[in-house]
Amino acid sequence: MWESDADLLARVDKSKLPRHVAIIMDGNGRWANGRGLLRNAGHTAGVKTLKKILQTAVNLKLEALTVYAFSTENWKRPHTEVEFLMHLFSDYLEREKREMHENNVRIKFLGRTEDFSPALQKLMRDSAELMKNNTGVKFNVAADYGGQDEIVRVARKLARQAAAGELSPEDISAQIFADELDTAGQPPVDLLIRTSGEMRLSNFLLWQTAYAEFWFTDTPWPEFTPEQFVDALIDFGNRSRRFGALN
Ligand code: FPP
């Protein structure tokens, strides 16, 4: 750990940390364009930021970190950008999986996988398998993920069970539903961070953010720092969360 990291961690009151932080890593393209670079250069820079933020989460012993890497709507981007993101994703997993494993990170993928190339699907499966018994940060990478798509998948599964007589519709509860989500067994999102000045949820973790606190910054994702990440966590610790009740 760098000394500056130790200083950073010392700023945090561990008892007030969120259990689950989700991040919409937005602004890669605009950051690159603003520098006269191609959008893909922004995504490459974004991966470097992700590495630093995951390391900070590991140092802080966060319980869960979820990042939005590729949405179900991102297929609508130009083919060359989609191809580049796929390449970056597989390159990232190939390069980082060993270090993640050494850091006791447990990676999991949220979303659909069937439209990814067989090689990428295998890499995702192998990475998850390698880390499945790890007990550190639960690192969820949302890839070909959409919150509505996830909810529809669960609804279909439960409807099939009901039609087969295995489940009574009256028995379907919020808990039974949550147990079928891609995040089953993980705490709901406490804090949602979005970079680059946009203030939308963009079909991310619709169910899991029901009571999340939101934290926005104008900083584009490639320039987002561990210091800002810690600022967001400290800010979260000062929020009054009532979950619909009174204080
Ligand atoms: C949003 O920026 C970012 C994405 C759609 C992809 C996020 C991907 C990364 C940070 C790198 C790849 C991730 C992994 C896990 C390897 P944008 O392109 O929407 O930026 P803009 O709003 O400025 O156009």
Instruction: Tell me the per-residue pLDDT of 169-213, one tens digit each, with 9 for 90 and over.
Output: 999 999 999 999 999 999 999 999 999 999 999 999 999 999 999
Q: What is the pLDDT of residues 11-21, one digit of tens each?
A: 999 999 999 99
Distance from residue 25's CA to the centre of ligand 1 (Å):
6
pLDDT over threshold 90, residue 245: no
Residue nearest to atom 13 of ligand 1 (CA): 69
Is the model's pTM score more than 0.85? yes
Predicted confidence at residue 131, as pLDDT, reads 98
Section 159-163 average pLDDT: 98
pLDDT over threshold 70, residue 2: no
Distance from residue 46's CA to the centre of ligand 1 (Å):
7
CATH number, domain with residue 112: 3.40.1180.10
**In the structure, what pLDDT confidence band is assigned to residue 1 with cuts at 50, 70 and 90?**
low
What total of structural domains would you count in the chain?
1
Q: Using an 8 Å Cβ cutoff, are 192 and 19 in contact?
A: no
Q: Residue 223 burial by CB count (10 A; 0-12/13-18/19+): exposed, middle or buried? A: middle
Q: How far is 17 from 12, CA to CA, in rounded Å?
A: 8
pLDDT over threshold 60, residue 3: no
Instruction: Classify residue 57: in a domain, yes or no.
Output: yes
Residue nearest to atom 16 of ligand 1 (CA): 89
Instruction: Classify residue 55: in a domain, yes or no.
Output: yes
Ligand 1 residue neighbourhood (C-beta within 6 Å): 25-30, 43, 46-47, 50, 69, 74, 88-89, 92, 141, 221
Residue nearest to atom 3 of ligand 1 (CA): 26
- Residue 206 phi/psi, 5° resolution? -60, -40
Instruction: Classify residue 102: in a domain, yes or no.
Output: yes
Q: Which atom of ligand 1 is nearest to the CA of 85?
A: 12
Instruction: Classify residue 230: in a domain, yes or no.
Output: yes
Instruction: Classify residue 166: in a domain, yes or no.
Output: no
Predicted confidence at residue 85, as pLDDT, reads 98
Predicted confidence at residue 4, as pLDDT, reads 74
**Mean pLDDT value across the chain:** 96
Spatial neighbors of 28 by CB under 8 A, at least 6 apart, are: 39, 42, 43, 45, 46, 220, 221, 222
Instruction: Classify residue 34: in a domain, yes or no.
Output: yes
**How many other C-beta atoms lie within 10 A of the C-beta of residue 163?**
9
Instruction: Classify residue 132: in a domain, yes or no.
Output: yes
pLDDT over threshold 80, residue 237: yes
Predicted confidence at residue 235, as pLDDT, reads 97
Instruction: Classify residue 8: in a domain, yes or no.
Output: no
State the residue range of the domain holding 132: 16-144+188-236
Mutate to test the pocket of ligand 1, among 23, 24, 25 (most ligand atoms within 8 A of CB): 25
Q: Which atom of ligand 1 is nearest to the CA of 44?
A: 11
Q: Using an 8 Å Cβ cutoff, are 221 and 46 in contact?
A: yes
Q: What is the pLDDT of residues 38-82, one digit of tens each?
A: 999 999 999 999 999 999 999 999 999 999 999 999 999 999 999
Section 79-89 average pLDDT: 97
Predicted confidence at residue 247, as pLDDT, reads 75
Predicted confidence at residue 154, as pLDDT, reads 98
pLDDT over threshold 70, residue 106: yes
